């Protein structure tokens, strides 16, 4: 079966492509990307006025299955991903049970295959039950299909354990993703420590709680030669540390979430618990530094940290509500609205942070429209305006800080391996 | 200026004119409280729920007396924090309260922002009776009333607020109110008990705010000295080495009080830790208005309930 | 809001004459000023009560004490009076128990204000007797209340408004009947 995506503007940063072209897909693979391809009996998708890119890759999602299927399942999460233009997502291990062994890893892969929306790549735990004590069976999980390890949400506090984890992960070719946070320095914190936490009487987390661990990880990466990826980088100081490390040739990559580059801690003033996440929304100066780091390439990827929570759990007192927000279905709209339409970051660079750069960071064979590559493709309308209505989400959860926002930029259709997994309703 | 708000969530949102309306109305109610029959029928048939998630005999009683002197039915619900840890969400709490059809809910809660969250969920007037370390607007109103009663004005006064600024909703509400009304506020305490950027919490106002760790500098020439309670139960982190050391370095003694203006008044939101943040001699001195604050609390809360519940039907 | 003038009921001299008449009727009926206490109902009842007290002093050589009552807290229509009402002070100069109180107001209409004033007064003690003096009685009572002393009875329709204008608050001094136009 052949499909032609015709008349779009093709942006493929993996090959430096940006221009009008048609794409021919056959047997799940990209056959050719050229101007003026003949339809010749293929199904035609009219992409005129739209942008055609490699399928987006999200290095950081929480799919909640196994264990908390009332918040999200692998199927609902993968479907939400497809609706957001993501064809590959990396699922964090903090499920119940924790993905700290090959059987959980296999379970996730099987479930994702059944659902057959976006591809799901499991991230294994660094330590058993993410307790930060004994190393998890990284080699087994790698063989079962895990592409990286992380104790996301439960950062490894013990420097020696982290050192051994990096050395061991390196042996098995696994990237180590770290949620950088000194749990002592940030103890009890529910938002960024700054003028707004003081105004609101809420306990703050000082940026140094993140930055001191970023610094530690960079030094350990240098020591061990392991690949370290800093999850959801959020402060000016963290960005500076990563920039300096890269200048010294240390192998460290990082990602930023849409909520961190679109919002600041000022949003907390209404005590809406959908502004509560970890790391917290930071100051306006931090937000500026993140945008600058996206422009200069210090930040590799945009990742959502999609963290579904049920309404009943989220509708608690601000200091008792769980951290986290959903993000898969708003990521593109928020990125284009906050970065592209505001004139801050070029469209090509935004696409790169959603495709080629995350693929490179985790050595994934996707994020490109090269002939022969799997036909993972996202088509979006960069100008279409829409209003965020959480009840329309494919995700099982509604906890978004962007409820009611008017966004500019919407996904039109998504293909995974040549199969259309999402198509937007006609406006 | 009329006061036209459904909720009283904090002082930060209020205009100076609105504060003035409350203070002026409170004067009327102080007169009512001096009558033999201290009760007027204005809120007859109205229901005020005092929903306290933190124990506080003083504030709850003050609101209860205020409601009763307005002839409203006052119902006290003391929800221990253990019952909310059973997992009732705020939505459920709100729905249950709505079902009782109250006209106003006074809420005290250990978490900042709960009054704001509830206000969006219920149609009754929400009055913040103290939320976490955020705001305690009715305390600030009664403090301002007491200051005005004794000093004849608020604008231009030098007010020192001393002690645990970090955990103090009383300090935060007072800083907002006093600067809006044109006073010059000096906040002082050990650095471990002053949150960062504290000097930025006030917007443009007639008054001013300075922050330091220099207690004696803050006291120098002050017209009003407000001491804050050291809440022993909140001193779980290493904020200072011992209560003894705290009282030596930061406590208000008669000797330190000599630094203040000769006609200065001393206030404390209570309950007082004698010999910790304030010495017994100061508490019992003629400068101390701590009991006036309690008396004025009823008048201030009557004014607030009257203005909020007695508005449109 | 525009008002259409229907008629002028009293001018300044007329008001003064009516108050003199009320003053003499009050001392006549009470046989002097002993135990007499005049209480004006805010707002315009207050200056009227002061003026009556002055006139009684001219007649008797002794000025009865005066007080003022703000009935806002005793109104039965708090929920319909619109934005938060302004509450003024009530000042009763002495114990009301066993005194003869003359409540003074400008216009007697539905009787609800007087009802509220009576309720409030009784919370201050147990007067031996309470009387009511008004400058204008315009009818349309909704409660069984009547004045003991009336400056002038004025026939009105419910659509009309009786405006008592006094120098204490207004530019002119007169009583007029207007209609909303």
- Cβ–Cβ gap C74/B41 under 8 Å: yes
Alpha carbon of A339: minimum distance to chain B alpha carbons (Å):
29
Across residues A246-258, what is the average pLDDT? Answer: 96
Q: What is the pLDDT of residue C85?
A: 58
Q: What is the pLDDT of residue C83?
A: 45
Name the pTM for this structure: 0.90
Using an 8 Å CB-CB cutoff, list chain B residues near C74: 40-42
Q: What is the pLDDT of residue B200?
A: 94
Q: What is the pLDDT of residue A40?
A: 80
Alpha carbon of B15: minimum distance to chain C alpha carbons (Å):
16
Q: What is the pLDDT of residue B84?
A: 52
Strand-pair category, A175-178 with A148-150: parallel
Closest residue of A to B173, CA-based?
Answer: A199
The mean pLDDT value of chain C amounts to 91
Rounded to 10 degrees, what is the CA torsion of C57, C59, C60, C63? Answer: -10
Q: Cβ atoms within 10 A of the Cβ of C93, count?
A: 11
More confident residue, C78 or A102: A102
Structure tokens that stand for B74 in this block: 């006052």
**Mind listing the pLDDT tens digit for each residue in A295-342?**
999 999 999 999 999 998 898 999 999 999 999 999 999 999 999 999
Report the distance separating Cα B65 and Cα A23, nearest Å.
77
Alpha-helical regions (H) of chain B: 16-33, 57-69, 81-84, 90-99, 114-119, 137-151, 169-180, 215-219, 243-250, 254-257, 280-283, 290-309
Q: Which of A178, A182, A300, A305 is catalytic?
A: A305
Interface list for chain C against chain B, based on CB atoms closer than 8 Å: 70, 72-75, 78-80, 82-90, 119-120, 123-125
Query: Is pLDDT above 70 for C58?
Result: yes
Rounded to 10 degrees, what is the CA torsion of A162, A163, A166, A168? Answer: -110
Report the distance separating Cα C147 and Cα C27, nearest Å.
16
Neighbours of chain A (3+ CB pairs under 8 A): B
Using an 8 Å CB-CB cutoff, list chain C residues near B32: 73, 90
Report the distance separating Cα A80 and Cα A68, nearest Å.
17
DSSP-based three-state secondary structure for B121:
coil
Q: What is the pLDDT of residue C82?
A: 45
B279, B248 contact by CB (below 8 A): no
User: Is A284 an 8 Å CB contact of chain B?
Assistant: no
Best probe of the A interface among B110, B130, B191, B195, by most A CBs < 10 A, is B195
Q: What is the pLDDT of residue C86?
A: 65
Closest partner residue to A315 (CB to CB) among B89, B135, B195 is: B89
Across residues C84-92, what is the average pLDDT? Answer: 72
Using an 8 Å CB-CB cutoff, list chain B residues near C87: 25, 28-29, 306
Which residues lie below 8 Å from residue C61, measured CB to CB, with a gap of 6+?
none
Query: Is pLDDT above 50 for A106?
Result: yes
**Mind listing the pLDDT tens digit for each residue in A287-300?**
999 999 999 999 99
- Cβ–Cβ gap C124/B35 under 8 Å: yes
Asked, as a colleague might, if the bond just before A97 is cis with ω within 30 of 0, I would say yes
- Cβ–Cβ gap A197/B195 under 8 Å: yes
Across residues A155-162, what is the average pLDDT? Answer: 96
Question: How many CA atoms lie within 13 Å of B54's alpha carbon, on the beta-carbon side?
Answer: 18
Q: Which residue has the tokens 């309306």?
A: B21
**Mind listing the pLDDT tens digit for each residue in A174-197?**
999 999 999 999 999 999 999 999
Question: How many CA atoms lie within 13 Å of A48's alpha carbon, on the beta-carbon side?
Answer: 3
Determine the distance from the C-alpha atom of residue A91 to the mean position of all C-alpha atoms in its chain, rounded to a whole number: 10
Best probe of the A interface among B113, B115, B211, B234, by most A CBs < 10 A, is B113
- CA end-to-end span of chain A, whole Å? 28
**Mind listing the pLDDT tens digit for each residue in A219-247?**
999 999 999 999 999 999 999 999 999 99
Determine the distance from the C-alpha atom of residue A383 to the mean position of all C-alpha atoms in its chain, rounded to a whole number: 23
pLDDT band at A427 (very low <50, low <70, confident <90, very high): low
Which residues lie below 8 Å from residue A303, measured CB to CB, with a gap of 6+?
A58, A59, A60, A61, A231, A232, A255, A256, A257, A358
- Cβ–Cβ gap A195/B197 under 8 Å: yes
Query: Is pLDDT above 90 for A271?
Result: yes
Query: Is pLDDT above 70 for C84?
Result: no
Query: Is pLDDT above 70 for C99?
Result: yes
Which residues lie below 8 Å from residue B152, measured CB to CB, with a gap of 6+?
none
Alpha carbon of B66: minimum distance to chain C alpha carbons (Å):
14
Q: What is the pLDDT of residue A42?
A: 87
* Ranges of chain B with pLDDT below 70: 1-2, 80-87, 234-236, 311-313
Q: Which residue has the tokens 């979430």?
A: A257
- CA end-to-end span of chain B, whole Å? 20
Alpha carbon of A217: minimum distance to chain B alpha carbons (Å):
27
**Mind listing the pLDDT tens digit for each residue in C5-22?**
999 999 999 999 999 999
Using an 8 Å CB-CB cutoff, list chain B residues near A202: 112-113, 132-134
B121, B91 contact by CB (below 8 A): yes
**Mind listing the pLDDT tens digit for each residue in A355-409?**
999 999 999 999 999 999 999 999 999 999 999 999 999 999 999 999 999 999 9
Report the distance separating Cα C25 and Cα A257, nearest Å.
86
Using an 8 Å CB-CB cutoff, list chain A residues near B90: 315-317
Closest residue of C to B42, CA-based?
Answer: C73
DSSP letters spanning A302-362: E---B----HHHHSS-TTTSPP-B--TTTHHHHHIIIIITTTSS-HHHHHHHHTHHHHHHT
Task: Verify whether residue A151 is a known catalytic residue.
Answer: no
């Amino acid at each position: 079966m052949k499909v032609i995506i015709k008349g779009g503007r093709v942006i493929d940063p993996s090959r430096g492509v940006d221009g009008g072209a048609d794409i021919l897909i056959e047997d799940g693979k990209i056959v050719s990307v050229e101007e003026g391809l003949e339809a010749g009996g293929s199904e035609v998708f009219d992409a005129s006025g739209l942008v055609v890119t490699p399928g987006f890759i999200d290095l950081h999602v929480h799919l909640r299955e196994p264990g908390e299927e009332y918040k999200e399942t692998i199927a609902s999460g993968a479907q939400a991903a497809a609706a957001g233009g993501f064809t590959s997502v990396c699922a964090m291990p903090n499920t119940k049970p924790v993905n700290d062994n090959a059987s959980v890893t296999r379970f996730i892969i099987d479930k994702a295959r059944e659902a057959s929306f976006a591809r799901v790549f499991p991230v294994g735990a660094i330590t058993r039950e993410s307790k930060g004590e004994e190393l998890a069976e990284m080699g087994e999980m790698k063989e079962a299909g895990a592409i990286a390890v992380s104790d996301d949400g439960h950062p490894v506090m013990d420097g020696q354990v982290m050192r051994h984890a990096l050395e061991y992960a390196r042996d098995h070719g696994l990237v180590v993703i770290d949620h950088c946070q000194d749990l002592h320095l940030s103890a009890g914190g529910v938002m960024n420590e700054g003028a707004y936490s003081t105004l609101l009487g809420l306990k703050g987390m000082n940026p140094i709680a993140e930055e001191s661990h970023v610094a530690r990880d960079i030094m350990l990466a240098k020591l061990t030669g392991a690949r370290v990826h800093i999850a959801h980088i959020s402060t000016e100081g963290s960005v500076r540390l990563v920039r300096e490390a890269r200048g010294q040739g240390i192998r460290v990559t990082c990602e930023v979430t849409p909520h961190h580059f679109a919002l600041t801690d000022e949003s907390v003033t209404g005590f809406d618990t959908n502004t509560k996440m970890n790391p917290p929304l930071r100051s306006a100066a931090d937000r500026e530094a993140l945008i600058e780091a996206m422009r200069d390439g210090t930040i590799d990827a945009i990742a959502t940290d999609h963290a579904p929570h049920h309404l009943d759990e989220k509708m608690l007192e601000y200091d008792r509500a769980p951290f986290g927000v959903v993000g898969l279905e708003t990521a593109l709209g928020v990125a284009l609205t906050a970065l592209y339409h505001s004139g801050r970051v070029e469209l090509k660079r935004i696409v790169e942070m959603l495709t080629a750069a995350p693929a490179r960071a985790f050595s994934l064979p996707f994020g490109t429209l090269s002939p022969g590559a799997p036909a993972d493709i996202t088509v979006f309308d960069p100008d279409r305006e829409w209003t965020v209505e959480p009840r329309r989400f494919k995700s099982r959860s509604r906890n978004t800080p962007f409820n009611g926002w008017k966004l500019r930029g919407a996904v039109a259709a998504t293909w995974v391996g040549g199969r259309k997994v999402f198509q937007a309703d006609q406006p | 200026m009329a006061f036209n708000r459904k909720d009283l969530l904090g002082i930060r949102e209020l205009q100076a004119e609105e504060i003035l309306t409350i203070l002026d109305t409170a004067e009327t109610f102080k007169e009512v409280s001096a009558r033999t029959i201290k009760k007027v029928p204005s809120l007859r048939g109205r229901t005020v729920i005092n929903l306290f998630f933190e124990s506080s005999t003083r504030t709850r009683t003050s609101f209860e007396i205020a409601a009763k002197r307005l002839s409203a039915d006052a119902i006290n619900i003391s929800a221990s924090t253990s019952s909310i840890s059973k997992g009732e969400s705020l939505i459920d709490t709100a729905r249950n309260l709505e079902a009782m059809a109250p006209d106003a809910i006074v809420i005290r809660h250990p978490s900042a922002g709960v009054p704001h969250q509830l206000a969006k969920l219920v149609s009754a007037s929400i009055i913040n009776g103290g939320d976490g370390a955020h705001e305690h607007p009715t305390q600030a109103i009664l403090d301002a009333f007491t200051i005005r009663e004794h000093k004849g004005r608020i604008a231009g006064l030098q007010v020192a607020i001393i002690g645990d600024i970090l955990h103090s909703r009383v300090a935060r509400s007072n800083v907002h109110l006093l600067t809006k009304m044109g006073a010059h506020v000096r906040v002082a305490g050990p650095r471990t008990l002053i949150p960062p950027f504290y000097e930025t919490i006030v917007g443009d106002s007639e008054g001013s705010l300075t922050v330091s760790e220099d207690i004696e500098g803050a006291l120098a020439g002050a017209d009003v000295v407000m001491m804050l309670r050291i809440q022993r139960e909140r001193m779980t982190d290493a904020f200072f080495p011992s209560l003894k050391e705290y009282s030596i370095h930061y406590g208000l003694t008669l000797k330190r009080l000599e630094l203040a203006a000769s006609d200065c008044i001393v206030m404390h939101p209570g309950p007082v830790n004698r010999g910790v943040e304030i010495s017994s001699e100061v508490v019992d001195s003629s400068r101390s208005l701590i009991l006036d604050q309690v008396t004025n609390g009823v008048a201030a809360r009557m004014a607030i309930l009257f203005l909020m519940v007695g508005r449109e039907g | 809001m525009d008002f259409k003038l229907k008629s002028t009921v009293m001018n300044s001299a007329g008001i003064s004459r009516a108050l003199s008449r009320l003053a003499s009727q009050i001392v006549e009926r009470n046989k002097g000023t002993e135990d007499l206490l005049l209480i004006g109902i805010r707002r315009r009842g207050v200056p009227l009560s002061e003026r009556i007290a002055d006139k009684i002093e001219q007649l008797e050589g002794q000025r009865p004490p005066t007080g003022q009552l703000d009935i806002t807290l005793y109104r039965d229509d708090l929920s319909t009076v619109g934005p938060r009402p302004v509450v003024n002070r009530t000042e009763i100069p002495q114990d009301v128990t066993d005194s003869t109180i003359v409540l003074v107001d400008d216009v007697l209409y539905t009787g609800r204000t007087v009802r509220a004033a009576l309720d409030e007064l009784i919370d201050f003690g147990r007067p031996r007797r309470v009387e009511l003096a008004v400058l204008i009685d315009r009818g349309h009572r909704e409660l069984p209340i009547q004045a003991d002393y009336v400056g002038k009875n004025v026939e009105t329709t419910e659509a009309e408004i009786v405006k008592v204008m006094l120098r204490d608050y207004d530019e002119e001094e007169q009583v007029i009947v207007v209609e909303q136009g």
